[in-house]
Structure 1
C-alpha cells in the first residue's frame, strides 16, 4: 500500500486539477435537463433531497437522497430526469464538475471507470467522504462570506477522495488504476514514476516487480494494456506536455527532466508523439510566447 500511496501523490502532482459547484437546482415537477459535453470536465451530482434518474448512452442510474454520481469519462451527453414522473417529488441536487486543466490528460482519464455511483450507505461508511459531503452541502446552502470559495476547495478535496475510493474498490481490472493495485506492477510503477528521467530498462523494471522479464512484459501488457516501453514513453511525453502548458520552464530543462540530453532530441521525440514541436504546443496550450 505504501507504494500505491506514494505513487498516487506523484501521479496527481503531474496534473493540475480543479473542481467547482455550478448549480444547485430544486425541481418540484418532472424535469429533463440536458448537460453539455466538455471533454476535460467530469460532471458530478449529489442528491441533497428527493430522487432522480441520470441517463448516459450506456445506462440509467437511479439515485435517491444522499447518493452521489460522477461521470469520470464524459464521452457522451447525459440527462437528468425526475425519478417519479407520475408523482413528481421535490428534488434538490448539487451539480458540479472535476476538471484536469492540462491539454493532455488521456493517460490518466482513460484508466478511470466511465461512471462511479456511491450510494448513501457507502458514503456513510467512509468518515472522510461523509464529512466532506456534509461540509459541501453546508457551504452550498450557506449565505456566509466565502461560501463559494469554500465549496470550490471542497470539490477538489472530494475528487482526491473519489480517486482513493476507486483505487480501493474493484471498479476496474485493466489500466493504470488496476496496475496501481497489482502486487507486482505497483512496485515497478513506483520506481519508474519516482525517477522517470532515468533510462529505465524493461529488465530493471521487471526486477523491481519481482518477476522474470517475460512474465513482467506479459503481465504489464495484460493489466496496463500496453508494453512497458510504450507506457514509459507516453508518460514522459504527457508529463512534458503538461509542463509546457503549465510552467515557464525552458524546453531544455523539460528535456532533461524527461531523460533527454538535448532539447533537439527531445523536440524530435515530442513532435513524433504530438505532431507539434514543443514550442508550438506551448503556444497552442497557453496562447503565450515564451
Structure 2
C-alpha cells in the first residue's frame, strides 16, 4: 500500500458530477464557500475565474481542469467583469433541466462537479493542497493517464447509458487522484507534505508508518528507514509534513483504528494490537485523547 492510496482511503474520497451543459453569453456564476471541493472542466470555449485573493481574473480555455480543494468561493463567467448570479439556485435549475443560460449561440460547454472527503482525517495532506489546482492542455499532454481520466469524465457526463450515475461517481474519483498525482509531479520542488510523498528519504518513513503502524517505531528506527541521521530526519520531516514523526505516527494509528471500528468486526483488543498497543487500556486512553471520545462510544455511534 502506498502512502497516497492510504491517505485517500482514510479520507473516504467521494466525487460526482452536477451537470455538463452548454452556456450562451451573457452568463456568470458566483459559487459560495462550501464544504465540498468543487471542480470545473472546460470542454469547449473560454471563461474567466475570479477569486478574492487573485489580483487579476484567470482565463480558462477548452481542455482546462480546475479544482478548488477547499471549496473556496469563486466566480466563473463569460467575461472578466460580468456580474454573477448566486450559484446554488442556478445549479439546481440546471440539474432540473432548466438551464437559464440556454440560447442560440452556445459556444461554451462546461462540466461541473464536486469531491467530498473527511477533511479531519489527514490534516497534513489536506493543508498542503492549494486553493486552486489549474491544469491546462499542456499539463495534460505530459500525463497520458490524466488525459484518459478526463476523457472518461467527459464521456460519462454526456452519456445516457445504463449505469451512468455510479460510473460518473467512480470516474470523477479517478480524476481527482490523477490530478493530485500530476500536481505532485509538477510541483516536486515545493516544501510541503505533497513534496514529502516524493522525497526519497521522508517518503520511506511515511511508507513504513502507513504500512506497519503496529511496529514499535521510534525517531531512531524511522531515521534508519529513511537513511538519515536522527536530527536531520526529525528536522526534515517536521519541515515538510508540518508535525513531528511521532505525532504523525499517532495519527496514522488512530485513523486506522477508527476505520476498523467503523467498518470492521474486530474486538477493541484486536484493534489495539493492529495499531501498535500492547494493552487495550493504553489504546483506549490514546483514542480518547485523540478523538475526545472512547472507542466503545464511537463504535456504538
Q: Name the TM-score class by shorter chain.
A: 0.7 to 0.9
In the other structure, the counterpart of 2:157 is 140
CA 1:161 to 1:225, structure 2 compared with 1: closer, same or farther past 3 Å?
Answer: same
Matches within 5 A, 1:184-263: 184-263=201-280
2:128 alignment partner, SS class? coil
CA shift, 1:105, in A, is: 3.9
CA contact (8 A) 2:19 2:157 kept: no
CA shift, 1:117, in A, is: 0.4
- What is the distance in 1 between the residues matched to 2:188 and 2:109? 28
In the other structure, the counterpart of 2:177 is 160
Matches within 5 A, 1:1-290: 6-39=2-35, 41-59=36-54, 60-74=57-71, 76-83=72-79, 90-100=107-117, 104-170=121-187, 173-283=190-300, 289=301
- What is the distance in 1 between the residues matched to 2:258 and 2:50? 34
Stretches of structure 1 that go unaligned for 5 or more consecutive residues are: 284-288
Q: How many residues align?
A: 277
- Please give the TM-score of this superposition, normalised by the length of structure 2: 0.82
What RMSD in Å do the two structures reach over aligned CA positions?
2.5
Q: Deviations over 1:23-63 (max 9, x none)?
A: 22322123232335433x22110011122223333224321
Q: Deviations over 1:81-133 (max 9, x none)?
A: 223667x9732210111222586343431232332100022213322211221
- What is the distance in 1 between the residues matched to 2:22 and 2:194? 36
1:24 alignment partner, SS class? strand
- What is the distance in 2 between the residues matched to 1:276 and 1:204? 31
CA contact (8 A) 2:40 2:110 kept: yes
CA shift, 1:175, in A, is: 3.2
- Please give the TM-score of this superposition, normalised by the length of structure 1: 0.85
CA shift, 1:202, in A, is: 0.4
**Of 43-52 and 122-131, the range deviating more from structure 2:** 122-131
Q: Deviations over 1:121-163 (max 9, x none)?
A: 2213322211221222122112222233322221121122112
Structure 1's consecutive aligned runs of 4 or more residues displaced over 6 angstroms after TM superposition are: none
Q: Deviations over 1:192-219 (max 9, x none)?
A: 2220111101000111111111111111
In the other structure, the counterpart of 1:286 is none
CA 1:225 to 1:199, structure 2 compared with 1: closer, same or farther past 3 Å?
Answer: same
CA shift, 1:248, in A, is: 4.5
CA shift, 1:246, in A, is: 4.0
